[in-house]
């Protein structure tokens, strides 16, 4: 206590903190919640700032991942390439191969690159084992953490293929490679044992270079590697720049969301802490006057009341940092999965800066009214501290008195006008709480709409595949998929599979589809094409503009395709599949973010020789998809086909995580707003306790007392709701398109127009709910206080 004085001054500080228990607790709790919200918001903003760069640097990721032919270059020669000019670090060689695993339920995972490593750590690509342990013996495998989910967990088993007698691997861990060097890892001997003629062993080397910041430098580094080994030994290379671009593109949509909530949390924290502290000191003016009258100097008075604010606020700040770290930990763990990054923790400087700024805000908020009080003359301080300034708010009482409402209610409605600054702070708290609630409801609704719009072909009850069920796609799927991806060339006659589907009892409708790579005039490289046979409307994507394909000669494309080609709806594009080139008219812009937005959807009939690889089937009401698929498989399997029932699609991890973040942050912000209201009402009630005693002496019942206190915040709640609702609506309308553009797409109306009229009405009442909940406790205290006690209390 020496910082604020000893002796009489110390006793004043201790007495003030202990005597005003409710105020002390409110200061501590409000500060704790505000600091916790700021720590969580700050941590998430930091995590969203270049997550790939941080994870890549932390793991010392490879600038180039190179695959070599072990038949043409020895391990010793590859190790020598790590000493080339410009190479700063290297790791390997590691044996690698490709497997097409099948889980215990028969679900087919994408083709996986399996690398052999005896340990996760190394000079390059120092892997982060997220759960479980590293593979130590044959029969064990570690998967990329992107596969973590309901389908796969530690202890799950995988067959390396759907061939009879294929090896079985047990998942013993999940790991993250920021450089995406592999999809799975096992012991080197296990990898060599799993190699086959179709998937031979290659040697993987990982390199870091002193110059690798541009595509040109990466190309030069690759030439250096190619020149250092025999001709044809270098099979392929992967640049970290491509991995970084894909990772940043995946993380980009979350950044506007996190920034919006972060700014809301930090601004509200400043408002609440400032309001709570300044109000606490401001209501002590009369006591300050008494202290000056008995000999305390203005400086001692200021120190005493700044201390009375800093002590509970300091405790709240310390607890807030701890609570913020506890709340941030699971969110950061989920954020790692979204970004595919290494372990994320609360940045040390967030734990330093947030409490330091909070302490500064508390100090300033307490110092300003304390200095004003210190400058007041003793008699003036006593007079000002007894009640609000004479005449302040009288016009409001006269106006409210004319309303056809009970006197207790009109008295309460006029009360806030006696303290305009305090009322303004309470109004801002309620408004920000309403903004947070409105934004969160709209955001979660939009994210759920995005989840429902993804992979529309998975809506079908049953999928029949004419060439076997294996799907070869990227490694980011996180689990089995029922449809989509590049499929094996059909080994069964699609016409026979189609006939079997048509003849199957229980078939309601079906359509065929085929996915392949095509070339489009004006676009370098290949473009993913999904071609449909039959009525494909059940599997249509959400349309941003235009309409879905209705016949041959039409094509639907994503936003990025339009931007890349400089085309618009109504223009034509030339598409080449094999030797067949067709001119197709763009009839719609689809909400499709797969394949980096470079894909097209067209009618299969427009391309000669193209056949459907997959049939998406809807069954009749009352028909079990599983039983239907079993019967259909019995018919098409001898033909070389396969059928499976589709499970209800799981929402993407990122959507579920953002939903959880939105709910938690909203609850925290609304709680902080409610505490701000609670503090202001406590101050008002204590200031007016003598008036309440007089009212009770004149016959005011406890119920009328509660009505008076609640009425004092009702108007603020209504006005805060009216301000916060359109502000939250506007914030949603601003942030969602920014998130979409960061992902490289426009958004369809189903994602943007998510507020219904009943929702808006309820959200408009959020301000009243926040205000009423904050005022309930002091209203109950005022109703229970005895008349004589209230009359004696100042």
360: Cβ contacts below 8 Å, ≥ 6 apart: none
Give the residue with greater pLDDT, 144 vs 476: 144
User: Which residue shows structure tokens 């080397």?
Assistant: 205
Asked whether the predicted pLDDT for residue 261 surpasses 70, the reply is no
574: Cβ contacts below 8 Å, ≥ 6 apart: 520, 521, 581, 582, 583, 584
Task: Name the percent of the chain lying above pLDDT 70.
Answer: 73
In 296-347, where does DSSP find H-type helix? 298-339
Q: Write down the pLDDT at residue 482.
A: 34
579: Cβ contacts below 8 Å, ≥ 6 apart: none
Q: Write down the pLDDT at residue 651.
A: 45
pLDDT confidence bin for 749, thresholds 50/70/90 = confident
CA 291, CA 619: separation in Å to the nearest integer?
84
> What sign has the CA pseudo-torsion 480, 485, 487, 493?
positive
CA 454, CA 458: separation in Å to the nearest integer?
9
Q: Write down the pLDDT at residue 700.
A: 72
- Geometric angle at alpha carbon 661, from 657 and 665, rounded to 5°: 175
Q: Write down the pLDDT at residue 204.
A: 92
267: Cβ contacts below 8 Å, ≥ 6 apart: 432
Write b or e for each residue in 181-199: b if 16 or more Cβ atoms lie within 10 A of its Cβ, otherwise e.
Answer: bbbbbbbbebbebbbeeeb
N- to C-terminal Cα separation, the chain: 27
236: Cβ contacts below 8 Å, ≥ 6 apart: 66, 67
Q: Which range among 416-420, 441-445, 625-629, 766-770 shows the weakest confidence by mean pLDDT? A: 416-420
> Of 203, 197, 191, 192, which Cα lies nearest the Cα of 237?
203
Beta bridge partners of 622: none
366-407 pLDDT tens trace: 777 777 767 767 666 666 554 455 455 566 667 666 777 776
Give the residue with greater pLDDT, 418 vs 501: 501
Q: Write down the pLDDT at residue 247.
A: 65
Q: Which range among 119-133, 600-614, 635-649 shows the weakest confidence by mean pLDDT? A: 635-649
- Geometric angle at alpha carbon 23, from 27 and 671, rounded to 5°: 50
Asked whether the predicted pLDDT for residue 68 surpasses 80, the reply is yes
Give the residue with greater pLDDT, 85 vs 10: 85
Give the residue with greater pLDDT, 450 vs 473: 450
Query: Per the structure block, which two tokens stand in for 768?
Result: 């009243």
Beta bridge partners of 487: 471
CA 760, CA 748: separation in Å to the nearest integer?
21
User: Which residue shows structure tokens 């304390």?
Assistant: 370
705-723 pLDDT tens trace: 777 778 778 888 888 889 9
Query: Per the structure block, which two tokens stand in for 421?
Result: 């600054």
> Of 451, 447, 616, 462, which Cα lies nearest the Cα of 530?
616
Beta bridge partners of 99: 112
Q: State whether residue 547 is helix, strand or coil.
A: coil
> Of 238, 381, 327, which Cα lies nearest the Cα of 39?
327
Phi, psi (degrees; rounded to nearest 5) at 765: -85, -5
> H or E segment at 251?
helix 240-251
Mean pLDDT of 465-484: 40
Q: Is-contact 142 135, C-beta < 8 A?
A: yes
Give the residue with greater pLDDT, 586 vs 128: 586
Query: Per the structure block, which two tokens stand in for 771?
Result: 């205000």
Q: State whether residue 601 is helix, strand or coil.
A: strand
Q: Write down the pLDDT at residue 112.
A: 84
Mean pLDDT of 241-264: 65
Q: What is the pTM of this model?
A: 0.65
Give the residue with greater pLDDT, 386 vs 702: 702
Q: Write down the pLDDT at residue 342.
A: 47
680-700 pLDDT tens trace: 777 676 666 656 666 666 667
Asked whether the predicted pLDDT for residue 199 surpasses 90, the reply is no
Sorted by where each begins, the domain ranges of the chain are 1-63+213-235+245-386, 64-72+86-211, 387-454+651-794, 457-645
Phi, psi (degrees; rounded to nearest 5) at 586: -75, 120
CA 732, CA 68: separation in Å to the nearest integer?
50
Asked whether the predicted pLDDT for residue 207 surpasses 90, the reply is yes
User: Which residue shows structure tokens 């342990």?
Assistant: 133
CA 653, CA 145: separation in Å to the nearest integer?
12
420-430 pLDDT tens trace: 777 787 788 78
Query: Per the structure block, which two tokens stand in for 199?
Result: 């998937």
Mean pLDDT of 152-158: 83
CA 611, CA 514: separation in Å to the nearest integer?
7
Q: What is the DSSP letter of 200?
A: -
Asked whether the predicted pLDDT for residue 478 surpasses 60, the reply is no
Highest average pLDDT, of 126-130, 462-466, 543-547, comes from 543-547
User: Which residue shows structure tokens 């505000």?
Assistant: 34
pLDDT confidence bin for 134, thresholds 50/70/90 = very high
Asked whether the predicted pLDDT for residue 5 surpasses 70, the reply is no
CA 755, CA 748: separation in Å to the nearest integer?
14
322: Cβ contacts below 8 Å, ≥ 6 apart: none
Q: Write down the pLDDT at residue 726.
A: 92
CA 504, CA 500: separation in Å to the nearest integer?
6
CA 545, CA 366: separation in Å to the nearest integer?
56
Q: Does residue 625 come out as left (phi exceeding 0), alpha (psi in the -120 to 50 range) or beta? A: alpha
Q: Is-contact 253 661, C-beta < 8 A?
A: no
> Of 731, 723, 726, which Cα lies nearest the Cα of 770?
723
Q: Which range among 278-292, 403-417, 473-487, 505-519 shows the weakest confidence by mean pLDDT? A: 473-487
User: Residue 88: is it exposed, middle or buried by C-beta count within 10 angstroms (0-12/13-18/19+)?
Assistant: middle
Q: Is-contact 10 300, C-beta < 8 A?
A: no
Q: Is-contact 183 176, C-beta < 8 A?
A: no
Asked whether the predicted pLDDT for residue 487 surpasses 80, the reply is no
Mean pLDDT of 419-445: 81
Mean pLDDT of 451-472: 66
CA 696, CA 788: separation in Å to the nearest integer?
9
Q: Write down the pLDDT at residue 96.
A: 92
> Of 790, 595, 580, which Cα lies nearest the Cα of 702?
790
- Geometric angle at alpha carbon 418, from 417 and 420, rounded to 5°: 60
Average pLDDT, the chain: 77
Q: Which range among 226-235, 326-335, 366-375, 718-727 shows the weakest confidence by mean pLDDT? A: 326-335
Helices (H) and strands (E) in the chain, counts: 25, 23
């Amino acid at each position: 206590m020496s910082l604020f004085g000893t002796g009489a001054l110390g006793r004043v500080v201790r007495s003030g903190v202990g005597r005003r228990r409710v105020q002390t607790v409110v200061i501590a709790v409000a500060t704790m919640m505000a600091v916790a919200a700021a720590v969580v918001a700050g941590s998430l903003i930091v995590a969203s700032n270049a997550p790939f760069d941080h994870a890549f640097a932390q793991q010392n990721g490879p600038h180039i991942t190179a695959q070599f032919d072990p038949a043409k270059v020895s391990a010793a020669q590859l190790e020598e390439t790590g000493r080339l000019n410009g190479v700063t670090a290297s790791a390997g060689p590691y044996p690698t191969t490709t497997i097409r695993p099948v889980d215990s339920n028969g679900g087919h995972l994408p083709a996986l690159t399996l690398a052999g490593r005896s340990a996760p750590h190394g000079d390059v690509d120092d892997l982060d084992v997220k759960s479980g342990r590293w593979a130590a013996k044959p029969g064990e495998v570690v998967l990329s953490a992107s596969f973590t989910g309901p389908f796969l967990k530690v202890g799950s088993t995988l067959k390396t293929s759907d061939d009879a007698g294929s090896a079985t691997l047990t998942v013993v861990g999940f790991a993250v490679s920021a450089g995406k060097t592999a999809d799975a890892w096992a012991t080197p001997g296990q990898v060599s044992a799993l190699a086959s003629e179709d998937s031979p062993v290659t040697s993987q080397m990982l390199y870091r270079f002193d110059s690798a910041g541009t595509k040109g430098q990466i190309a030069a580094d690759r030439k250096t590697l190619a020149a250092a080994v025999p001709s044809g030994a270098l099979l392929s290379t992967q640049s970290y720049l491509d991995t970084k671009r894909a990772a940043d593109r995946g993380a980009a949509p979350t950044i506007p969301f996190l920034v919006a909530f972060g700014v809301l949390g930090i601004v509200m924290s400043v408002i609440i802490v400032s309001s709570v502290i300044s109000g606490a000191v401001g209501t002590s003016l009369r006591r300050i006057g008494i202290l000056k009258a008995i000999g305390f100097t203005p400086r001692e008075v200021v120190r005493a009341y700044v201390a009375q604010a800093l002590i509970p606020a300091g405790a709240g700040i310390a607890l807030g940092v701890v609570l913020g770290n506890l709340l941030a930990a699971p969110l950061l763990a989920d954020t790692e999965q979204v970004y595919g990054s290494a372990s994320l923790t609360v940045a040390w400087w967030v734990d330093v800066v947030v409490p330091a700024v909070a302490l500064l805000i508390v100090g300033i908020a307490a110092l300003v009214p304390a200095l004003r009080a210190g400058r007041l003359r003793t008699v003036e301080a006593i007079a000002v501290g007894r009640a609000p300034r004479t005449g302040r708010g009288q016009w409001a009482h006269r106006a409210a008195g004319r309303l056809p409402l009970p006197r207790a209610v009109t008295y309460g409605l006029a009360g806030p006008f006696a303290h305009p600054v305090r009322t303004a702070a309470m109004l801002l708290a309620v408004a920000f709480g309403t903004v947070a609630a409105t934004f969160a409801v709209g955001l979660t609704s939009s994210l759920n709409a995005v989840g429902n719009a993804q992979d529309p072909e998975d809506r079908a009850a049953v999928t029949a595949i004419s060439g076997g069920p294996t799907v070869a796609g990227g490694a980011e799927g996180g689990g089995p998929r029922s449809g989509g991806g590049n499929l094996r060339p059909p080994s069964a006659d699609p016409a026979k599979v189609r006939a079997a589907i048509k003849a199957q009892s229980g078939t309601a409708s079906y359509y065929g589809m085929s996915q392949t790579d095509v070339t489009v005039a004006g676009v370098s490289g290949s473009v993913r094409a999904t071609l449909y046979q039959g009525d494909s409307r059940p599997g249509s994507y959400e349309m941003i503009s235009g309409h879905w394909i209705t016949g041959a000669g039409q094509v639907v494309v994503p936003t990025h395709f339009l931007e890349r080609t400089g085309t618009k709806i109504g223009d034509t594009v030339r598409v080449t599949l094999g030797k067949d080139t067709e001119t197709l008219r763009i009839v719609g812009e689809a909400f499709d973010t797969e394949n980096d937005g470079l894909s097209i959807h067209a009618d299969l009939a427009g391309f000669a020789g193209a056949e459907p690889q997959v049939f998406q089937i809807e069954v009749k009401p009352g028909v079990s998809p599983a039983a239907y698929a079993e019967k259909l498989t019995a018919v098409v399997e001898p033909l070389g086909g396969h059928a499976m029932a589709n499970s209800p699609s799981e929402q993407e991890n990122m959507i579920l995580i953002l939903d959880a973040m939105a709910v938690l942050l909203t609850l925290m912000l609304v709680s902080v707003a409610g505490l701000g209201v609670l503090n202001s009402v406590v101050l008002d009630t204590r200031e007016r306790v003598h008036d309440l005693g007089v009212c009770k002496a004149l016959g005011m019942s406890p119920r009328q007392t509660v009505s008076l206190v609640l009425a004092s915040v009702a108007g603020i709640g209504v006005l805060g709701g009216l301000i916060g609702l359109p502000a939250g609506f506007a914030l949603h309308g601003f942030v969602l398109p920014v998130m979409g553009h960061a992902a490289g797409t426009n958004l369809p109306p189903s994602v943007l127009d998510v507020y219904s009229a009943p929702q808006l009405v309820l959200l408009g009442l959020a301000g009243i709910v926040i205000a009423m909940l904050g005022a309930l406790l002091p209203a109950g205290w005022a109703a229970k206080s005895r008349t004589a006690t209230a009359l004696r209390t100042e």
